[in-house]
Amino acid sequence: MAYREVWGMRLSYLFICLSFLVMPVASHAGCEFSEAPPEIPNGATATEPEMATAQSAIKTYIEHSNAFMECLAEEGQAAGEADTPEAMAERDAMHNAAVDAQQALADSFNAQIKAWKAQ
């Protein structure tokens, strides 16, 4: 197994773990995000249309994730001084998990793009 494939698999595994961390807690009052991250094709064997489809799915996922984080911020602003430290901490944790999931997805996709370009 090539180094790139192993690295890509490790990133995919990390991303999957992060997504499971985000999904159960990604519902806070009116803010919900339960979308599963898109599949990323193996860059060493993928076709250009497969990579383009994955890129489009990733952009959509990130847009939805950003909307979720925006909702969390608006919720915090709406709570104002009545906001509890626990609710603030929960929103911060959900925001950070969403950012981490986005970063893991981008890292994994970028690794597969490099592998695809090396074909």
Residue 46 falls within a domain, yes or no? no
Residue 98 falls within a domain, yes or no? yes
What is d(CA 63, CA 65) in angstroms, rounded to the nearest whole number? 5
Domain count, the chain: 1
Instruction: List per-residue pLDDT tens for the chain, 119 residues long.
Output: 555 555 555 555 555 545 544 444 444 568 988 889 999 999 999 999 999 999 999 999 999 999 999 999 999 999 999 999 999 999 999 999 999 999 999 999 999 999 999 99
Position 34 scores a pLDDT of 86
Position 1 scores a pLDDT of 52
With tokens 């990604």, the residue in question is 26
Domain span holding position 82? 1-23+65-119
Residue 60 falls within a domain, yes or no? no
Position 51 scores a pLDDT of 97
Position 97 scores a pLDDT of 95
Question: Which of 87, 103, 100 is CA-nearest to residue 30?
Answer: 87
Neighbours of 73 (CB within 10 A): 13
3-state secondary structure of 49: helix
Element (H, E) at 119: none
